[in-house]
Amino acid sequence: MRVAVAGGTGLVGRYVVEELVAGGQEPVVLSRSRGVDLLVGGAGLDAALDGVEAVVDVSNVTTVGARKSAAFFGTVGRNLLDAGARAGVRHHVVLSIVGIDRVGLGYYQGKLRQEAVVKEGPVPWTVLRATQFHEFAGQTLDRVPKPLAVVPRMRTQPVAAREVAQHLVRLATGPAQGMAPDLAGPRVEQLVDMVRRLLRARHERRLVLPVRMPGAVGAGMNGDGLLPVAGETGPRGVQTYDEWLAQQVAQGRIARGG
C-alpha cells in the first residue's frame, strides 16, 4: 500500500515513514526536497500521489499567529485534498491537537481551519487529535534566549511522538473514521516541571520563570483545556515523560548545556 506523508521529514513524519516501512507499506514523502511544494499551487503533488491510497498529513508551520497558521493549514489542506481526489486517494488522515476548540491560541485557530477544510473536502477522512509530544518541553525552552526560561503554566498529558506515529499508521491503513478518539500520554504533567527536569538532564542552569497566559486562554491552559475530556475513552500512550527523558540521555540525544 502506497501512503503519502506530508511533513514526512519532520518530527512525527520521520516516525510515520519508519513505521510504514516496518509494516511493509510503501511511504511517499511529500516535501520540497522531493520536488513537492504543498503551498505554491501544490506543485508536484499530482505526480507524487500517483498510485497512493492514503495520505497522512503531519505538515507544520512555526508560528503563534492565527492568520499565518490559518493560511498555511488551509492552503496545504486544500491542495492535498484536491490532488488526492484527482489521484483517487481513498483516505486522508490529519494529525491535530487535543483541546484546540477550548483554548483560543492563534496557532490553534489554524488547526481548526485545517480540520474544517478536511471535513468539507472530497476525500474520506480521519482526524486524530493528540496531546503535546514529550519534545514540547525542549521546543518551549529553546525558543527563549539564555539565561532565562520563560515557560507558560500549562497542564498537558504528553505522549511519545513515535506512539503518535504508530497510531496514525494504524488509522491510515484502515477505513476512514471521521473524528477519531483523542490520543494522550499516560499521565498529566505541568509544563514548567517538565522544563525543569529537562534542564537537569542537560546539566543546564537557567532561571525558570513560570508565566500564566492572560484571560480565558491562560485559564484553559492551566486547567483542563488541553487534556482529554474527563470520562471520554480513547487510546493512551505507554511511555512516560521521565522514561522518554531517560532514554534520550542514554542515547546521547540530550545536549549538555552550561
Over residues 223-229, the mean pLDDT reads: 96
Under DSSP, is residue 17 helix (H, G, I), strand (E, B) or coil?
Answer: helix
Angle at 222 between CA 190 and CA 13, to 5 degrees: 60
Q: Check whether 256 has a pLDDT greater than 70.
A: no
Confidence bin at 83 (pLDDT 50/70/90): very high
Give which of 158, 155, 258 is closest to 210, Cα–Cα.
Answer: 155
More confident call, 252 vs 16: 16
pLDDT, tens digit (0-9, with 9 covering 90-100), for 33-61: 889 999 988 889 999 999 999 999 999 99
Over residues 241-255, the mean pLDDT reads: 91
Q: Cβ neighbours of residue 247 under 8 Å, at least 6 residues apart? A: 239
Contact 43, 36 (CB under 8 A): yes
Helices 11-22 and 161-172 meet at what angle, rounded to 10? Answer: 50
**Per-chain mean pLDDT for the chain:** 95
What pTM value is reported for the model? 0.95
Instruction: Say which amino acid occupies 84.
Output: G
Confidence bin at 232 (pLDDT 50/70/90): confident
Q: Check whether 214 has a pLDDT greater than 50.
A: yes
Over residues 107-123, the mean pLDDT reads: 97
